Chain A
Amino acid sequence: MSVRTLPLLFLNLGGEMLYILDQRLRAQNIPGDKARKDEWTEVDRKRVLNDIISTMFNRKFMEELFKPQELYSKKALRTVYERLAHASIMKLNQASMDKLYDLMTMAFKYQVLLCPRPKDVLLVTFNHLDTIKGFIQDSPTILQQVDETFRQLTEIYGGLSAGEFQLIRQTLLIFFQDLHIRVSMFLKDKVQNNNGHFVLPVSGPVPWGTEVPGLIRMFNNKGEEVKRIEFKHGGNYVPAPKEGSFELYGDRVLKLGTNMYSVNRPVETRMSGSSKNLASRTQESIAPNPLAKEELNFLARLMGGMEIKKPSGPEPGFRLNLFTTDEEEEQAALTRPEELSYEVINIQATQDQQRSKELAQIMGEFEIMEQPRLSTSKGDDLLAMMDEL
């Protein structure tokens, strides 16, 4: 598995999260002078996006992110995004956070699947960064942070071979395996079937560097062409127009990773339906996770690097609802299938770098020790204690 996958995964999922939040905030937008105290304004929206983006691209956080490491589970990663989503005055209920994460993951899964070349996942990432820069045009400091991340991406991924990108692609696809949540926008556009599987197009431009299928050439010993045959491939492909740009600024050509949401297209996910897939997911979530300890450490490191700016003075937390009504949100929370629940470990993240020790201390205060513990390392203790809560 590639140990260079996490930055790409994190940045693209983060980008999708921002697109969705931006769309929802716009949809609930009230003109400043008419807004009541508990309603969203344009100023609020910009502030939320600014706060989240500056937290995401914080230097210390990026440093942790770019260290070579394995990917952890979807559940572990969700915790990071939940923290990120709450980096500002905005609050999300569990149901809305679940829906947000579902949408984010399905969108990026779609983009990875449809990448013409494995290397194009970098162009998808750049598309996300380009749009993110559009959200924070008025903040030069944050813009600089994003550009810095861009440079880091180019430095690390710019020189990778096609084979290494293929490994990254496979690592990402394994992460998304068995995820078949149906998204209304995808269903409507017919890029997703009713069973949650994506439709792979068999028409359109071929990837840059690939020939349109249908030609056979035969050569003699001197390398001279002696025969040509054409055959019907079955698809309807055309040559690639040009290669997308990998520069800081440029035409990416690829549309994957650009903002597909708009105010008039509220996006829903559908939980119920084909139970065939749910069966296999049940298997996955019941088996004990031997990586749980490592995941906790990963979370501690990553979120330790996250600097959350606490709002100065008393400010009400604005709640954002990803559903159309509060009743719908409540209903969604009640009816979410067991297999698809993200059992989130509620860690009170602070800026304290000694988080593991602090956590262990806090847990120790709640612990009722009845038998001597047999585990050998502090990490095991931590995990065991959390299980008992």
Chain B
Amino acid sequence: GGGLEGPCEPGVRRADLGAVHWCVLPFRVLLVLTSHRGIQMYESNGNTMVYWHALDSGDASPVQAVFARGIAASGHFISVGTWSGRVLVFDIPVKGPNIVLSEELAGHQTPITDIATEPAQGQDCVADMVTADDSGLLCVWRSGPEFTLLTRIPGFGVPCPSVKLWQGIIAAGYGNGQVHLYEATTGNLHVQINAHARAICALDLAPEVGKLLSAGEDTFVHIWKLSRSPESGYIEVSPLP
């Protein structure tokens, strides 16, 4: 990594679509920023840059926007999505700047929109990462020295701007205002909510209480209680007033 590139003064730059995410790893916290130039990682004080990855725009046609989007941490890995659909996986040491790009996940053909992770539940074959893209496709992964693709959940013509993972439940918000809940192990759709009249901007999840929040461009915010049916074990949801 190095200093800021180019002649631009810090703070004076073109408006950019970017993301910021605190990545909480077992032994450290890193602040990760994405922009159309690349990926920057800082120590948790926000001052010391420890890594900079410039995006490779090699394959991009002149009309293609080049950017990174979607950031998540699982174990000692940080995953970042890109415009090409590739997901970059970085191996993060306990301390210091010796960060390495360990893998590039192929699974998506359109720009990544969001990535969700949750700590592995202790069992062996458990999914702990979900990636989503502009076509609405979801890929379900198990992290490790080599990431494994477990399932693919196809889209249906609208982007999936936001995805969350909780206790084996995938919550996905779509551009047509719907929220879908899938079983991570099987990829089966168990709940379909006509939640919003416009595209969903963001989902957020409170893991301790299993509450899901959806925000849409229709100006509404809804809260949902996630649960499993005691008899069947199937995912259920109830709207909270």
B123 adjacent to chain A (CB < 8 Å): no
Instruction: Identify which of residues 167-226 in chain B touch chain A, using a CB-to-CB cut-off of 8 Å.
Output: 175-178, 186, 188-199, 218-220
Interface presence of A2 (CB below 8 A): yes
Q: What residues of A have a CB within 8 angstroms of the CB of B188 in the complex?
A: 219, 221, 223
Q: With A162-B158, A163-B110 as given contacts, are A202 and B220 in contact (CB-CB < 8 Å)? A: yes
Chain A: residues with Cβ within 8 Å of the partner, total of: 47
Asked whether B12 is an interface residue with its Cβ less than 8 Å from the other chain, the reply is: yes
Binds A, one of B91-99, B146-154, B232-240: B232-240
* B contact residues around A164 at 8 Å (CB): 134
Q: Are B197 and A237 in contact (CB under 8 A)?
A: yes
Are B177 and A163 in contact, CB atoms less than 8 angstroms apart?
A: no
B36 with A1: CB separation less than 8 A: yes
Cβ-neighbour of B218 out of A118, A217, A235 (below 8 A): A235
Bound form: Cα–Cα A213–B15 in Å:
33
Interface residue ranges of A254-306 to B (CB < 8 Å): 287-288, 290-291
**Mask for B88-114, Cβ within 8 A of A = 1, else 0?**
000000000000000000000011010
CB contacts between A and B, total, < 8 Å:
129
- A163 and B134: CB pair below 8 A? yes
**Chain-B contact segment, one of A77-85, A139-147, A226-234:** A226-234
A285 to B176, CA, bound (A): 37
Query: Would you call B178 and A233 a contact (CB within 8 A)?
Result: no
Query: B1-23, CB under 8 A of A: which get 1 and which 0?
Result: 00000011100111111000000
CB contact between A214 and one of B12, B111, B194 (< 8 Å): that residue = B194
Chain A CB within 8 A of B46 CB: no
Contacting residues of chain A (179-227) with chain B, CB-CB under 8 angstroms: 200, 202, 206-207, 209-221, 223, 226-227
Interchain CB contact (< 8 A) of B191 among A162, A200, A206, A218: A218
Q: Are B218 and A216 in contact (CB under 8 A)?
A: no
Q: Which chain B residues lie closer than 8 Å to A312 at the CB level? A: none
In the assembly, what is the distance between CA of A325 and CA of B236, in Å? 66
CA gap between A230 and B14 in the complex, in Å: 45
B65 interface hit (Cβ, 8 Å): yes
Cβ B65 vs Cβ A162 within 8 A: no
Give the CA-CA distance A206 to B196 in the complex, in Å: 9
- CB contacts (< 8 Å) of A291 on chain B: these are 14
State whether A290 and B13 are in contact (beta carbons under 8 Å apart), knowing that A213-B194, A216-B237 are contacts in the complex.
yes
Query: Across chains A and B, which 8 residue pairs bring their CB atoms closest together, nearest first?
Result: A163-B134, A231-B239, A211-B194, A163-B159, A68-B63, A174-B15, A215-B194, A210-B176
- Chain A interface (Cβ within 8 Å of chain B)? 1-4, 68, 70, 116, 118, 161-164, 166-167, 170, 174, 177, 200, 202, 206-207, 209-221, 223, 226-227, 229, 231, 233-235, 237, 287-288, 290-291
Q: List 10 A-B contacts (CB under 8 A).
A: A162-B175, A164-B134, A166-B175, A166-B199, A167-B17, A213-B177, A213-B197, A218-B234, A221-B188, A235-B218
